[in-house]
Amino acid sequence: MAALIAENFRFLSLFFKSKDVMIFNGLVALGTVGSEELFSVVAFNCPCSPARNYIYGLAAIGVPALALFLIGVIWNNHTWNLVAECHKRGTKNFSAAATFLLFGSIMGRAAVAPVTWSVISLLRGEAYICALSEFVKPSSLDKFPAEYGAEVLSRFPCKDVPANLTKFRDEVTRRLRYESQLFGWLLIGIVAVLVFLTKCLKHCCSPLSYRQEAYWAQYRSNEHKLFQRTAEVHSRILAAKNVKQFFGFVALDKEEKELVQEFPVEGVQPSPQWNAITGVYIYRENKGFPLYSRLHKWAKGVEGNGPSPEAHEMLFLAS
């Protein structure tokens, strides 16, 4: 039984490691759903006033979606790799296909949260009803009193209407909620089709086999983890060395003393080395051997960024 449980945990660990992007997108979507629910309960309050309803309703959907999109762009490592690439090397080494892949990756990941927000907002229908209630044509409502117009229709989302208009308010609300949810389901369908086509295109155009692509993903993940862990230890030891030089001693706990003794740090890496391993990386091969990252490329002593007989650009961006 213990062996079976251990095997199941090992399988789950490998599964989640191979699906880290999918899990991250799922967590972003779940967090967005929770935020939208909280916003609807706490913050959303339709003004129920002509001209203001439309602006407020669209802002309730669009402004948070825009903010979430910008946050997604900021949090994407490809964004800052692109900034570093443009600052240090320019974009002369980028082909049109590479540029398209890069921006597609940035925009696709950043769109997860805003699309989720928009879908949930449309399925709930409150913002849509608030925005468009005043634009319902009275002539489309059977036996709607002629003395009432857009001002009364704009108050329908707040249920602040005369008693003789209650049935019209219910009809308008039902009609607008139907339209809102229809747009929400259509948006879900469109996004699902786009994701499916994108995944198919990505795998069809990939120069790598499925197993090599999986290995590349594992390598990137392991390199990132080891680099971050080593950088933390290196910076701590270097800081301890400099503090000791200033004060004459440094207050270290037992674990830090062991680190200082085990890993002597003589200096820091020069800026050219940092620049060499920083920036956008597109899969390349050198004399038939794969180079899986800028750090891998630097370690192998391969120079130059553009395609050449010895360093061939395969036009495939890491996902």
Pairing state of beta strands 289-291 and 282-286? antiparallel
Q: Which residues pair with 317 in a beta bridge?
A: 282
At 233 the pLDDT is: 93
Pick left, alpha or beta for residue 46 (phi over 0 → left; psi -120 to 50 → alpha; otherwise beta): beta
DSSP label of 285: E
Question: Is the Cβ–Cβ distance between 126 and 39 less than 8 Å?
Answer: no
At 314 the pLDDT is: 44
Cβ count near 255 (within 10 Å): 8
Backbone angles phi, psi at 315, to 5 degrees: 55, 50
Question: Is the Cβ–Cβ distance between 108 and 198 less than 8 Å?
Answer: yes
At 226 the pLDDT is: 96
- C-alpha–C-alpha distance, residues 74 and 66, integer Å: 12
At 229 the pLDDT is: 94
Sheet holding 282-286, edge to edge: 289-291, 282-286, 311-317
| Structure tokens given for 180 | 């809102």
Q: What is the CA radius of gyration of the chain?
A: 28
At 94 the pLDDT is: 64
Cβ count near 12 (within 10 Å): 10
End-to-end CA distance of the chain: 38
pLDDT tens series, the chain, 319 aa: 344 334 333 433 433 444 455 555 555 666 665 665 555 545 678 888 888 899 999 998 999 899 989 999 998 888 888 887 777 766 666 666 677 778 888 888 899 889 988 998 899 898 999 999 888 888 778 777 777 777 888 888 887 777 777 888 888 889 999 999 999 999 999 999 998 998 888 778 777 888 888 899 899 999 999 999 999 999 999 999 999 999 999 999 999 899 889 998 888 889 889 988 888 887 888 888 899 998 999 998 886 544 443 334 444 444 4
At 307 the pLDDT is: 45
Cβ count near 92 (within 10 Å): 7
Extended beta strands in the chain, E state: 282-286, 289-291, 311-317
At 46 the pLDDT is: 87
Place of tokens 């909280």: 38
- 0.85 exceeded by pTM: no
| Structure tokens given for 262 | 């085990």
Mention every residue, 6+ apart, whose C-beta is less than 8 A from residue 249.
none
